[in-house]
A and B are shown apart, each in its own frame.
Chain A
Amino acid sequence: MSLLEIDRATLKFGGVTAVNDLSFSVEEGEVYAIVGPNGAGKSTVFNLISRFYEPYSGRISFAGENLLDRRADAVADLGIARTFQNIELFDHATVLQNLLVGRHRHRRTSMIEELLFTPRVRREERRHREVVEEVIDFLDLQPYRDKMIAGLPYGVRKVVELGRALASGPRLLLLDEPASGLSVEETQDMRWWIDDIRKQMGVTVLMVEHDMGLVAGVSDRVLALADGAKLAEGTPVEVQSDPAVIAAYLGAPADGGVA
């Protein structure tokens, strides 16, 4: 059984079929990348998994459980964490507080206990902070720890968002264009982090990425998407040399193209 299974999912926005009868599955422990031209439906697949959108038809299951039975806020409980293409951080909070929100799914204390800040709340807080400090060390975020998000450069925000997802202790990490807008050096860091996340933390990664260098560098398997449907699936090399994929990219020259 695969960790994540998308089975013939379809989603329409009015006349646009954003995801068209799409099936794929992600195995535990792999890095799986989705590539495709702009508007191919990559982010929409993520939003289906996050349960922000209700599929028109099809099934999505995670670790054998039907994801469609869950509300969007109950997806995190299964150990699915994500980042957003346009960065959705809590702008008027510090980096530390943002990462701590990542721990929300592990909240065990009630409102009353928290108002009184009972010893149990303190114990739990300490535990959350231990995890978060590990993430801060891992991602070299120490200099920004107590800074407000609103004043941080774009590249740092991207890393903070990755950190917030990691802080939740995920089984599956969804990364929507983790390297977009990053410098060459920052992209290199991102590549190492993704490698470490998979190898050291044993987290499965599903990512959308345009940078084919990064995709080829870290992913085990690649899915090429166009107009919401599967074009090709396989190793990075197989997909890059697939005639249908090359045609799709040449048909959309505005996109960076396959490197």
Chain B
Amino acid sequence: MRIHFKTSYDHDIRLFPDWWSFSIYAALVIVAVILPWLLGDFFLGEVTNVLIWAIAGLGLMLLTGQTGQASLGHAAFLAVGCYSCIILMEHGWPFLLAFPAAGIITGLFGTLFAIPAVRLHGIYLAIATIALSVLADDIIVLLDPWTDGVSGKFAPVIDIFGLEIERWSTPARFYWLVLAVTILCTLAYRNLLRAPLGRAFAAVRDSEVSATAMGVHIALTKAAAFGLSCAITGLAGALMGFFAGAFNNETFSITISINLLMMIVIGGLGSIHGAFFGAIVIAFLPQVLSMVTDTLGGGIAIPGLEMGVFGAILILFILFEPMGIYGRWLKIRTWLELFPFARKDMFRRQKSYLKTERLR
């Protein structure tokens, strides 16, 4: 059992609470960096895929987990990021400019969408965002001159100061690129959490009334959440485009939006870890399923199996572990740290008071 002695205010402000956790994350980063020498190309590709999903998950987590605004439209923002990055590169922009520009453009789209969306709550917001997901497909087709509609686009080779990066020919370089973006996005997210804006997000999520009384401008805060969330999602979308190599109007379907939302719920809403845990499940579940059906069913494909299993897992989590995999992990860790003093009902919540809706 570790005991924290806090000796200065910096303790809670620091990125890592103590040497122990710093060492763990440092070790994790080192392993991640040398991974290309440890894994074959196939598995490296899988890990790259997990990281890209994790970035997208961080984006949605910021909006849904942190600010409490559900979105079933984030596939549309993946598409905006993907198309804007690649169209800019086709116009001669270098990747190092086109990529952040894609994030900014997607962020602006998100902020624009926030103008009507900040008035909507809960299920109404979810419905509006579904509309966005559905519309995205049609808009990509309508914008054929730029997007090449149904026939789609191919991702160009990335060139960073003469260094060529491509998913198939240089999988390790592509992986490192994705890893770098992942680390930067995670750091930015973490910084936000220890700063006023991140706390304002949580305040808006938990009680708009008292957030307002504390001086938080609800609409601006939500718009900032939409903007930041979509910017990160846009970066993930661009990386997805490079990872897939080719994409068209059907690539960023509503299924992707649903998967993303499921991912962060399963991983654990409101935590950075949750985005990563969820990404691992979402990225590896199809593989595991196909292995299982291969060995059991002799290669017979069962339609809708993947969605069915995702749905079942989601329902089980909502019923039994609403805090997601991260919540379960926290409980196991606490149990181990306290061993043998853990009590069975330690995590049972206090019955809380009645909360009225009178002030809404």
Contact = CB atoms under 8 A, between A and B. Distances in A.
Interface of A: 47, 50, 52, 71-77, 81-82, 84, 86-93, 96-97, 100-105, 107, 109, 111, 114-117, 121-122, 124-126, 128-130, 133, 150-154, 157, 164, 168, 181
A87 B353 contact: yes
B212 interface: yes
Contacts of B195: 109, 114, 117, 121, 125
Contacts, number: 138
A242 B188 CA distance: 61
Nearest to B348: A151
A157 B228 CA distance: 32
Contacts of B218: 73
B216 interface: yes
B198 A104 contact: no
Nearest to B353: A154
B349 interface: yes
A86 B198 CA distance: 25
A126 B191 contact: no
A47 B359 CA distance: 9
Contacts of B10: 126
A73 B196 CA distance: 15
B213 A75 contact: yes
A145 to B, nearest CB: 9
Contacts of B194: 117, 125
B153 interface: no
Given A74-B215, A101-B214, A104-B215, A89 B206 contact: yes
26 contacts: A50-B212, A52-B209, A76-B214, A81-B214, A82-B213, A86-B354, A86-B356, A88-B207, A89-B210, A90-B203, A90-B206, A90-B207, A92-B206, A93-B202, A96-B12, A101-B203, A101-B211, A104-B203, A107-B197, A111-B224, A116-B188, A126-B10, A130-B9, A150-B352, A164-B210, A168-B214
Interface in B182-204: 188, 191-192, 194-200, 202-203
A84 B209 contact: yes
Given A76-B213, A77-B215, A154-B353, A104 B205 contact: no
B2 interface: no
Interface in B68-100: none
A86 B214 contact: no
Interface residues of B, number: 41
Contact of B205 (A72, A74, A92): A92
Contacts of A71: 217
Interface in B124-159: none
B197 A111 contact: yes
Contact of B199 (A72, A93, A124, A153): A93
Nearest to A71: B217
B12 A103 contact: no
Nearest to A113: B195
A91 B353 CA distance: 12
A129 B13 contact: yes
B171 interface: no
Contacts of B217: 71, 73
Given A93-B202, A105-B214, A117-B191, A126 B355 contact: no
Given A101-B216, A114-B197, A133-B9, A84 B192 contact: no
A51 B60 CA distance: 32
A91 B206 contact: yes
Contacts of A73: 212, 215-218
Contacts of A97: 199, 202
Interface in B215-269: 215-218, 224, 228
